[in-house]
Structure 1
């Protein structure tokens, strides 16, 4: 069932993005009286799953879910319809339209992608609001368990003060991505400020260790499920470990250190059980563990226990607009930084480029509209930026040639555009094979 939920979210998000992107081309094409021969979700190689002709346009769904397209008359595109291009230009064809109209048609898709992302962020701000922990409230710093972070110089208890000169005001979902792309991070450790220079190949290093969050808030040791073979039957699920062998265990990382130092011993523990402190005897095995599964607490529970103050902010519709726009701008800039790192060989970030499986994996195995819309928004930004790359066969390639025509007054020949389209197509296929090949490689080696 989990795979069905993930697949449903993946296909729904992909379909929505493709249809709206292609509508971005379709609508201005029709406004400028340019004939659109086909409008397809997914590619209809050899045959289509569904098709219906309405007016001059055939609408359909292809069987190959690698994207979608609109076929505009008189345009050199992936269809490579040389027969049509060999005929005299007709008034309804793309090639007959003024350069500025062709430019608007080509920019329509990415424009819709960016607008969609901003609309989603505005809508999410209005419907869900915003929740975060003020960075000043993280008095005992954060938990660092990721080995790549430890190797870079971070320690549990560090308080993140600034990332690339930007002062951190709130601890939220964006913290990890900010640190991943950072050049330097300022932390407060034992009351003193330290600057940590991030390794150029930090993203590559992340892939070499077991996946875990870079930065997480410190939380208590909560007892989860207790296996039948456990020696600690006095413990109960949802118990919170407060003291162990006379030492305070406010956080799980503190408890783990005490457990490690008391292997094969029986010690006294104090647990919080149904709002009461209860003493119990616990047996620590030879691995420094209690033989129980770990539980967890949500932010609201941590707030009730006095660990943190959670700021829940609601926005009116008018307040949601500037918040959503700023959120969209931040995500756009962030993705731009990611692309810059990918194209910089020193970072080795290109090794982490993924294809359709990587996109599929970011969707959760449970249904959450908030998560779905959040992922769809960033994917819309990614689709828009990627399509703007000046590669022939992408929108950005067409835009590049159109800008040249507008500035120089000279239109590239159809033969040149056909050759450029072919080169761009080969390049795109190569990138597609590389990205999805990375997915296969990671699946094989387990990284």
Structure 2
């Protein structure tokens, strides 16, 4: 678990945590992976804990208060597989599939990735988590790709972005396909289309929401440069 940033009123930031700190333990319990760290936080809601972090090769201990929701207030980094291997967090092995085996394997991986993204999306919609502050635009998307060409990482990330956009597109937001489906369902139930003015204003609101999200996400990228 590597820290990429902090929301407002962050217990972690106030306790001395810094960006790029790698969390390695909680109360002397090793937490190599984020799910292990999250589990330990859930066991110590409302308590003060000692967190071991690796900062530029030096391990230090920081004391921090856990909220009643089981959080300390930070955004974790999204690292590529190559970066995880370089940090010795994962030891990667390659699996070879035949064409017929690759189809179900790809399907299950896509479902797993989509489920993980939906869970992150829920956190973004919850202001108390501060996850919305970690939203990024084109710069963040570009940083997800490896610095050197690696065909598997490139196509995995391309496939993930396609899944992400497909999910976003079916959300019931006017101006997206999901919004059009809502109006079609309305027409099926009522027996006539929604008033033209209503559809027009809905499209305007939808476009405003999308443009606002675009500006906010890319604005976050710019702020991260300073």
TM-score normalised to structure 1 length? 0.35
- How do 1:217-296 and structure 2 match up within 5 A? 217=88
Q: 1:401 to 1:218 in 2, by over 3 A?
A: closer
8 Å Cα contact 1:148-1:205 kept in structure 2: no
8 Å Cα contact 1:401-1:412 kept in structure 2: yes
- 1:158 correspondence with 2:30: yes
Q: 1:362 to 1:202 in 2, by over 3 A?
A: farther
Q: Which runs of 5+ in 1 are unaligned?
A: 1-145, 161-174, 187-193, 220-298, 300-309
Match of 2:39 in 1: 185
Match of 2:74 in 1: 205
* Residue number among 350, 365, 380 corresponding to 2:147 in the alignment: 365
Q: Deviations over 1:210-259 (max 9, x none)?
A: xx96x95479xxxxxxxxxxxxxxxxxxxxxxxxxxxxxxxxxxxxxxxx
- 1:406 correspondence with 2:188: yes
Between Structure 1 and Structure 2, which shows a larger proportion of strand residues?
1
CA distance in 2, matches of 1:314, 1:338: 30
Match of 1:433 in 2: 215
Q: 1:426 to 1:321 in 2, by over 3 A?
A: same
CA distance in 1, matches of 2:155, 2:89: 28
CA apart distance, 1:148: 6.3
How many equivalent pairs are there? 180
- How do 1:13-52 and structure 2 match up within 5 A? none
CA distance in 2, matches of 1:417, 1:336: 28
CA distance in 2, matches of 1:201, 1:356: 31
CA distance in 2, matches of 1:147, 1:154: 17
Q: Deviations over 1:105-138 (max 9, x none)?
A: xxxxxxxxxxxxxxxxxxxxxxxxxxxxxxxxxx
8 Å Cα contact 2:169-2:177 kept in structure 1: yes
CA distance in 1, matches of 2:72, 2:103: 33
- The higher radius of gyration belongs to 1
Match of 1:149 in 2: 23
8 Å Cα contact 1:354-1:439 kept in structure 2: yes
8 Å Cα contact 1:148-1:206 kept in structure 2: no
Q: 1:345 to 1:413 in 2, by over 3 A?
A: same
8 Å Cα contact 2:114-2:163 kept in structure 1: yes
CA apart distance, 1:328: 0.5
CA distance in 2, matches of 1:339, 1:363: 21
Match of 2:11 in 1: none
Q: Secondary structure at the match of 1:313?
A: coil
Q: 1:185 to 1:394 in 2, by over 3 A?
A: same
CA distance in 2, matches of 1:363, 1:353: 17
Match of 1:336 in 2: 118
Q: 1:371 to 1:312 in 2, by over 3 A?
A: closer
Match of 1:237 in 2: none
Q: Secondary structure at the match of 2:136?
A: coil
CA apart distance, 1:412: 0.4
Q: Secondary structure at the match of 2:174?
A: coil
Match of 1:350 in 2: 132
